[in-house]
Amino acid sequence: MNKLIAILVSLSILITGCWDKVEINKRIFVISMGIDKFEGQQFKSRENEIFPNFIPDRYKITFTYPNLALIVGDGAGEATHKITSTGININDIQKNLNTHLEGVISFDHIKLIVLGEEMAKDEELMKEVLDFIERSPEIGRRIHLMVAPGEAADILSTKLPQPIPLGLYVRDLMNKPTRAARSADADIGYILRNLHESDAAIVPRINSSKNEIVVAGAAVVKNYKMAGWLGEMETLYLMFMLDKVDTATGNVIVDKRILPILVSDSTTKMTVSKKEGRIHVAFNIEAEGSITQHGFALVGQTFDPKYIRRVEKDVEERLEKNIARTYKIIREKFGADLIQAGEYLRKKDPKVWDEVKDNWEEYFTKSQSEVNVRMKIRRVGVTR
């Protein structure tokens, strides 16, 4: 009898630690979040006059979360819910929303955070948001952070043709094996690390029209705020510099014929050195690829080693020129060390780094680049 009482008492103590129990259908799993700067009319209430030290709203945040009831089959309405609110910061908005929503907001399964352009250009807000992401025990480091031209809320309003949440759609888009190198390959872990190590990072750009999402191009973040945009091609060539190209397509003109070349594998070796007082960055790129289209009924040409070599040469020249141009834009227009040349020096050549680290931005802006591409065309399809 005593034993039984002991067991019952200990069970009632040991098993009842569940302050945090929330049924899964009472959870609101935020899948995508859009963060915008809020500059609209401040809500004037009687209370703001009573408490004159109130802090004005600065953010407009849009959450989307799946309609769990619909997914399990006993509900109606839209597949994803969307809610927008303004507030002083993300936590404030989260607390505000507790007065609107019956569920508990959880960021455990967030997949996508979109920043509005105006917000990304504001250093203070940007630092707050980045810290929120880094500090949160809920938000993982494989989620995608993106910047939208215009408002992030518009991106979250996109009606996709498939009934899947935007965050999951974007994740699939970014993780597929044939992902185009025109969108920056950077998740939140990569962005945070580069901001810490080099003070500069690229953030993919997300754009939407009525029912379409485009992830291409990139925003340059420097000194914790957005400095400007890189176009799709610039992003592609930057990806070549960063050795992050899986597949890419490009066109070359040989004998006045436009040939599409599929680059299927590319490795880049970057070396940074100091020569005559200037920083010298060299990229040695080895790429492999194939010709995917040639002229009809021109038998034999793609089987001619000399001709293939000419095609390769053209690819090499184009890539070399374009990468060098992109490099020039990055260093002159942005002065942002997106290629982590400073990090390279710190690791591989600490003596030089000690000399230049105090004026690194100046050194980088005046740096020289040298690009060497070695292209190998391995395959030409099934016709000769």
Where do contacts with another protein occur on this chain (CB under 8 A)? 10, 13-14, 17-20, 108-109, 134, 137, 140-142, 175, 189, 192-193, 196-197, 346-348, 350
Nearer to another protein by Cβ, of 247 and 293: the residue is 247
- The residue written with tokens 């436009």 in the block is 258
35 and 83 in contact (C-beta within 8 Å)?
no
Minimal distance, residue 17 CB to another protein, in Å? 5
Nearer to another protein by Cβ, of 257 and 347: the residue is 347
Nearer to another protein by Cβ, of 63 and 190: the residue is 190
Minimal distance, residue 342 CB to another protein, in Å? 12
Cα(9)–Cα(91) distance, rounded to whole angstroms? Answer: 39
User: Could you tell me where the beta strands, DSSP code E, fall in the chain?
Assistant: 27-29, 32-37, 59-66, 80-87, 104-106, 112-116, 144-148, 200-209, 212-222, 225-230, 248-254, 257-275, 278-291, 368-379
Minimal distance, residue 29 CB to another protein, in Å? 10
Nearer to another protein by Cβ, of 197 and 361: the residue is 197
Minimal distance, residue 140 CB to another protein, in Å? 5
147 and 219 in contact (C-beta within 8 Å)?
yes
Minimal distance, residue 360 CB to another protein, in Å? 15
- The residue written with tokens 């507790």 in the block is 98
Minimal distance, residue 172 CB to another protein, in Å? 10
Minimal distance, residue 222 CB to another protein, in Å? 16
Nearer to another protein by Cβ, of 118 and 134: the residue is 134
Nearer to another protein by Cβ, of 136 and 365: the residue is 136
Count of CB atoms situated within 10 Å of the CB of 15: 8
| Cα–chain center distance at 37 | 19
Minimal distance, residue 96 CB to another protein, in Å? 19
CA dihedral 116, 122, 127, 128 (to 10 degrees): -70
197: exposed, middle or buried (Cβ count in 10 Å: 0-12, 13-18, 19+): middle
Nearer to another protein by Cβ, of 196 and 309: the residue is 196
Cα(130)–Cα(46) distance, rounded to whole angstroms? Answer: 34
Nearer to another protein by Cβ, of 5 and 13: the residue is 13
91: exposed, middle or buried (Cβ count in 10 Å: 0-12, 13-18, 19+): exposed
What six digits make up the tokens of 254? 């040989």
